[in-house]
Amino acid sequence: MTALSARMLTRSRSLGPGAGPRGCREEPGPLRRREAAAEARKSHSPVKRPRKAQRLRVAYEGSDSEKGEGAEPLKVPVWEPQDWQQQLVNIRAMRNKKDAPVDHLGTEHCYDSSAPPKVRRYQVLLSLMLSSQTKDQVTAGAMQRLRARGLTVDSILQTDDATLGKLIYPVGFWRVKYIKQTSAILQQHYGGDIPASVAELVALPGVGPKMAHLAMAVAWGTVSGIAVDTHVHRIANRLRWTKKATKSPEETRAALEEWLPRELWHEINGLLVGFGQQTCLPVHPRCHACLNQALCPAAQGL
């Protein structure tokens, strides 16, 4: 091999496979061409940025288990009668003298305040049993005669029916049966005291819801509900203090308790009873003397 040939061979090896004389490199194959074209397209195509995820807010009412402790409960609008607050203010103004029969002859004034607590509570219940559909003056007179003989559970049970009927007259004689039955239950099951719950009170013979709620308030000092008698029932319907007309005192009680603030429950019975005795009478109400004449729906129709 000559020196020239050796130099050419050395140059060819240094150029690597496919190298030839200057300007005569081997053309790339079809696969390499396609890869090169793809790379070129990538380099000229615009860069795509990732899309930002959008948050969709959905408002819904979750169940109790899904709500957090700090979640505020949905407020349901409570119905209330029109002008009731001003009507109440006016009734208080008309009753400020406290001179109605209920104010000095009502249940709160019929028991012996010097008697033991158990006896006082029994006398409260008995006066309520006598007062149903009876004027306060008649109830007070009957209670005074009973107390003069020593009014306790034992004394009532020891009094014969005829004598008891005379003592409570003109209260109906039919009350004697209920008084005796209730007194026997109190002696046997309550040690001569009265029950301390509405449910137990209304279970006694001759004791209704109005009596039970008043007994809880006067005897036990607990406001368990609104005591509704014929006066409260009548006035509540005349003033439209019920969402719809009610047909019974118990229906009126439930309707009033739906909207009337609880702090007024204790006051409302005595307030409306006296108002019904003096002004809003069952027949021929004295609308001309009532401060609510312009606010009372019933007065507009008279």
- Please answer whether residues 276 and 234 qualify as being in contact, where contact means their C-beta atoms are separated by less than 8 angstroms: yes
Helices 136-148/117-131 angle, 10° precision: 140
- Please answer whether residues 192 and 156 qualify as being in contact, where contact means their C-beta atoms are separated by less than 8 angstroms: no
Structure tokens at 196: 């301390």
Gyration radius from the chain CA atoms: 46
Distance between CA atoms of 302 and 284, rounded to whole angstroms? 10
Query: Where is 176: in which H helix or E strand?
Result: helix 175-189
Distance between CA atoms of 154 and 177, rounded to whole angstroms? 15
Distance between CA atoms of 151 and 120, rounded to whole angstroms? 9
Q: Which residues are catalytic?
A: 210
Exposure of 200 in the CB half-sphere (CA atoms within 13 A): 12
Sequence letter at residue 1: M
Sequence letter at residue 203: A
- Residue that has been written with the tokens 């401060």 in this structure: 291
Distance between CA atoms of 38 and 40, rounded to whole angstroms? 5
Nearest partner of 238 among 78, 84, 77, 79, judged by Cα: 84
